[in-house]
Chains A and B, each alone.
Chain A
Amino acid sequence: MAECVRVEGSSHSMDKSITLPPDEIFRNLENAKRFAIDIGGSLTKLAYYSTVQHKVAKVRSFDHTAKEVPSDKLYEISVQEEITARLHFIKFENAYIETCLDFIKDHLVNTETKVIKATGGGAHKFKDLIEKKLGLKVDKEDEMTCLIKGCNFVLKNIPHEAFVYAKHADSEFRFQNTHPDIFPYLLVNIGSGVSIVKVESEDKFERIGGSSIGGGTFWGLGALLTKTKRFDELLQLASKGQHTSVDMLVKDIYGGSYGSLGLTGDLIASSFGKSATADKDFSKEDMAKSLLHMISNDIGQLACLYAKLHNLSRVYFGGFFIRGHPVTMHTITYSINFFTKGEVQALFLRHEGYLGAIGAFLKGAEEDNPNQYSWGENYAGSSGLMSVSPDINPMQRARSGTFPFDMLEMDRLERQLVNLPLLQDASSYIPDTVDLTEDALAREYWLSCFEEALDGVVKRAVASQPDIPEAAERAEKFRQKYRHKLQTLRHQPFAYGSLTVRSLLDTREHCLNEFNFPDPYSKIKQRENDVALKYYQKAVKSLEELSWEERQFALVRGVLAGNVFDWGAKAVSDVLESDPEFGFEEAKRQLQERPWLVDAYDQWIERLKGPPHKCALFFVDNSGMDIILGVMPFVRELLCRGTEVVLASNSGPALNDVTNGELQILTERIAAMDPVIQSGLKEDRLTLVQSGSSSPCLDLSRLDKVLAMVVRERQTDLVIIEGMGRAIHTNYYAMLTCESLKMAVIKNSWLADRLGGKLFSVVFKYEDPTRKPSKDTVALTPS
């Protein structure tokens, strides 16, 4: 049922002189178009679509046949302006609506916009104000349709959108994998009343039931019983109360439990049952608590009955009764567990408050086909879960002079992302090896590690733009932003879903992009590629002189040694910076001798003695020595064996990882020197694809659609994943339907220590799903 409009809210209209922080809120307003607004009982959610102009690093090959080659560099790097699409969602209290509308009017440049899509129970109340202030026509959209549309959108596009709430667990939020098929599901929307909606597909949904006992009942009855007016205050009262003085429990009737029915003594037999018989006064807190239990249990029970009737196991809860309130999430979870004996889990959504606004926006943007694209949450621009603590009374926040708002930003991705078709079970695939939300020790280490590395990142960012004077200033802003993010994550590790090394790295990339440092390593990568390329032929020649057995081992050691060159790992970047001559041979000497920390090399060699693989998919890692002297000779050997090779590299820059653009040029140059690579390219046996990612880690459930297609067409039967980011921090436990090889050097002493190894320990994990798993597997979590 609809969210109610708070009538008494009008009594505290906010001071209009409040200044909004324009750098932080309503960003990119000058390019904004397609507005949508969702006005609920107390919060307004504004959505708009905007284009963001930001700098990207592009590489372009020099024409090496021409005489006028300006330098001996392989390729040139140019920083270009690129325009990408971004969705902005801002949530603020209704009291600020006029201030916000004025601000938007003053900053809105785009005059094409004529209409604002509106939804929510308060839309009609503010219709005239919006039309007057913005000069836009308010076009009302059905609330439930918007809600469902928004829900589908976040479930499809935001990993870790849904979570299970467990109050007493180590981490209160247990995030769920994005299921490849989000349908069917049940959405229980608890506004003033309750609507239970079964969603079967993008366009097919049905209200299968509901209840009049909802958030409005809690609020209305609560206000009558406790003389407390505000919803938030009622929840606060409830969290302090004891319901057992008001409710009649099973033990009040039985003296204990009702054993034959399995009803425990503490179970509520009759809500408010004691307030009829006892003639004493009840505390506000106790009554509020009893009321909260009564309503949560009732809703939970109905939800379970409907879930059972329609045979649905995924049940999402939303509406203002739930909206980020730990108290109600806990009582609803408890109720669902009780009534289904754990068969159904209550699921909540990180962006639940935005669903209506997202849906209304999508209704208005249908001609842009937003559902054709993949979208990604921008960690730099989004506030994260619980950024505005519901425990703080909004009136107090207003008095403190700050303007509380919450933001969600989503970038339209250039590529449509899908699952790797070779995942054994896409629905249970978890990219990340360690969940830092749950592992406090690891969390503490990695947060500190990223904090310590920040100076170096800032330094390199400035160095990457030597000709731009204001780069230092921007880099400083980046530092502040990322440091703030790290601080937030220290207190709220669940802010963006499960905290992982990957999310920490991705957040850093997002922040760098935000301040126009699209590729701080571009020049370093260029230099390293130049140097490495000079050694390519020599390296290949020396490999060819070896016997077959010796060569296979040298090839593997080559990949591993190449992988030591990694600016992403602090231990290595220190050495690289102090000793630029640190060479390939030196790297080999650093490697751990066999037996390695994880050593399936013997099985791999046995396998190589058999028939060649049909096609290998190789997820590559760093530029320079790694790709040129490590990976390419390995690829060359595979091609010689008659195995086709698909090289998957990042679509966009991340650290010193080789990008698809760079790899195209490098491969052409190598092909010019090496007939094996040359013919591989020509005969289409060596293919370069982009991963669709701009992360130093790898999420096999979000890969470029083209990559998935190629993998299927080529009947890929071997997946090779290289490097710490892709094979250790992520995918260490990934189960594939074909053979896989995971190779990495542990370049972090803390992690090495935890795994029982030393710095530069080697992980060489070969798995064949048709055979028994190797017993050398090291558990990456402490025992």
Chain B
Amino acid sequence: MRLKSFPWFGMDIGGTLVKLVYFEPVDITAEEEQEEVENLKSIRRYLTSNVAYGKTGVRDVHLELRNLTMCGRTGNLHFIRFPTQAMHRFIQMGRDKNFSSLHTTLCATGGGAYKFENDFRTMADLELLKLDELDCLIRGLLFVDRVGFNGHPECYYFQNPSDTQSCVKRPCSLDNPFPMLLVNIGSGVSILAVYSQDNYKRVTGTSLGGGTFLGLCCLLTGCETFEEALEMASKGDSTNVDKLVKDIYGGDYERFGLQGSAVASSFGHMMSKEKRDSISKEDLARATLVTITNNIGSIARMCAVNEKIERVVFVGNFLRINTVSTKLLAYAMDFWSKGQLRALFLEHEGYFGAVGALMELLKTTEEQ
């Protein structure tokens, strides 16, 4: 067996973010090091000695998987992301660093693998190995869950999701993960019913996803980044924006068993000019977040019931640093299913597609 030459990358080019995983070998022998071209060294140094790249690239250091063994090599797996908007700058960098001279295969998934394929070829003389994003997502997810998060479980859930006081995050294992309903919340949302690593189907999807949250927040509050939008949302109160059941009925709507505190109409108060003039940007951000999250929860729950699956796993970068949404999803699954459904989350939220792409690279290596 001949190992695929370094560097090992897996890339997932989404609608909003590019997710890049990089395997940094730590078991390089002196002999190897001598043979290693300068170019490769420089790439490794650049990636591992920085936590930010350019204006918008970020390495999620806290997610790094250390001393991982892949294909007989030991190393650290690094998780890097940057906006898809910066894709052309990234390709230019690949050209400037003469990446094509390394004769590596660049495994890429996500829609951008198709969209930017030609740009990679013409601008940087690089050929992409295009991979299906859902295949990669599932493969990557199962791999990361299997190897664990540096000795801790990758998976977690919320205990007492219906009680904000005692609601706590708890680690758990995904042993025997099938069947599961996998809800991937990126710019949009895909919902998959997964029966085994190779047997899954896309049940449905919705266009109301992370892109909608950020897009609406930008329009409504003038914010510019996801972090900013979430920061605002964490300080706001959505009940100033949303019309609740009790706003209409004065209390519960008993005929239909609806609690007074349930949202009757998202942004319903905004029909009134008075109310429009009295709310804050934070309230709007919060309402947007709650609306999108509840809607995803509602669709996911219906799919779980229709597909007769009790385990619902939420992934995707919408959930990054977004405890408002994770807790709300946990609560919604538990409440509306009367405890029948459990929402599960994974620490590496949005990176599984990229991990899956990297694994494909190593798989092609084995076959050679």
* Chain A residues at the B interface, C-beta cutoff of 8 Å: 1-2, 4, 6-8, 121, 142, 144-145, 191-193, 195, 207, 209, 211-217, 219-221, 223-225, 229, 246-248, 250, 252-256, 258, 260-261, 268-277, 282, 287, 294, 297-298, 301-302, 305-306, 308-309, 339
Contacts and interface: CB of A to CB of B under 8 A. Distances in A.
Contact of B265 (A145, A217, A269, A298): A217
A272 B216 contact: yes
Nearest to B117: A255
Contacts, number: 209
Given A217-B268, A276-B16, 6 more contacts: A216-B265, A220-B267, A220-B269, A253-B15, A269-B111, A305-B306
A535 B134 CA distance: 87
A301 B266 contact: no
B306 A8 contact: no
A271 B271 contact: no
B261 interface: no
Contact of B243 (A6, A192, A207): A192
Contact of A217 (B258, B266, B273): B266
Contact of B256 (A207, A256, A275): A207
13 contacts: A193-B263, A207-B257, A224-B270, A229-B273, A247-B207, A248-B211, A253-B187, A270-B210, A273-B209, A275-B219, A305-B303, A309-B302, A309-B306
B6 interface: no
Given A212-B291, A260-B132, A306-B302, A339 B15 contact: no
Nearest to A191: B265
B215 A272 contact: yes
Interface residues on B, range: 35 or more
A269 B272 contact: no
Given A219-B271, A253-B14, A269-B188, A224 B302 contact: no
B42 interface: no
B187 A7 contact: no
Contacts of A277: 16, 83-85
B211 A273 contact: yes
B219 A272 contact: yes
Nearest to B214: A276
B130 to A, nearest CB: 10
B265 A193 contact: yes
B204 interface: yes
Contacts of A4: 243, 248, 265, 268, 271
A192 B215 contact: no
B255 A212 contact: no
A248 B249 contact: no
Contacts of B258: 207
B299 A305 contact: yes
Contacts of A274: 215
Nearest to A219: B271
A254 B298 contact: no
Nearest to B215: A272
The 8 A-B pairs with the shortest beta carbon distances in the complex, nearest first, are: A220-B270, A270-B211, A253-B111, A272-B215, A273-B211, A216-B265, A220-B267, A255-B115
B89 to A, nearest CB: 14
Nearest to B272: A7
Interface of B: 14-16, 83-85, 110-112, 114-117, 132, 134, 186-188, 202, 204, 206-212, 214-220, 241-243, 245, 248-249, 255-258, 262-274, 276, 284, 291, 294-295, 298-299, 302-303, 305-306
A205 B255 CA distance: 11
A301 B299 contact: yes
A271 B111 contact: no
A142 B291 CA distance: 27
Contacts of A294: 207-208, 212
A575 B241 CA distance: 73
A339 B207 CA distance: 13
A223 B15 contact: no
Nearest to B244: A212
Given A270-B209, A309-B302, A298 B295 contact: yes
Given A212-B291, A213-B291, A276 B271 contact: no
Contacts of B264: 1-2, 192-193, 212, 216
A221 B257 CA distance: 27
B256 A195 contact: yes
Contacts of B255: 142, 144-145
Contact of B187 (A216, A220, A261, A273): A273
B295 A213 contact: yes
A1 B210 CA distance: 26
Contacts of B245: 1
B295 A211 contact: yes
Given A144-B256, A195-B256, A309-B306, A339 B204 contact: yes
Contact of B15 (A191, A260, A269, A275): A269
B298 A211 contact: yes
A269 B276 contact: no
Contacts of A215: 265
B76 to A, nearest CB: 30
Contacts of B306: 305, 308-309
A780 B117 CA distance: 58
Contacts of B112: 253-254
Given A4-B265, A298-B206, A309-B305, A248 B187 contact: yes
A2 B206 contact: no
A1 B257 CA distance: 12
B207 A270 contact: yes
Contacts of A256: 114
Nearest to A258: B111
B272 to A, nearest CB: 4
A216 B271 CA distance: 7
Contacts of B270: 219-221, 223-224
With most chain B CB atoms within 10 A of its CB, the pick from A4, A212, A276 is A276
A276 B226 CA distance: 9
A271 B291 contact: no
Contacts of B302: 209, 302, 305-306, 309
A195 B255 CA distance: 13
Contacts of B241: 220
Contacts of B207: 247, 268-271, 273, 294, 297
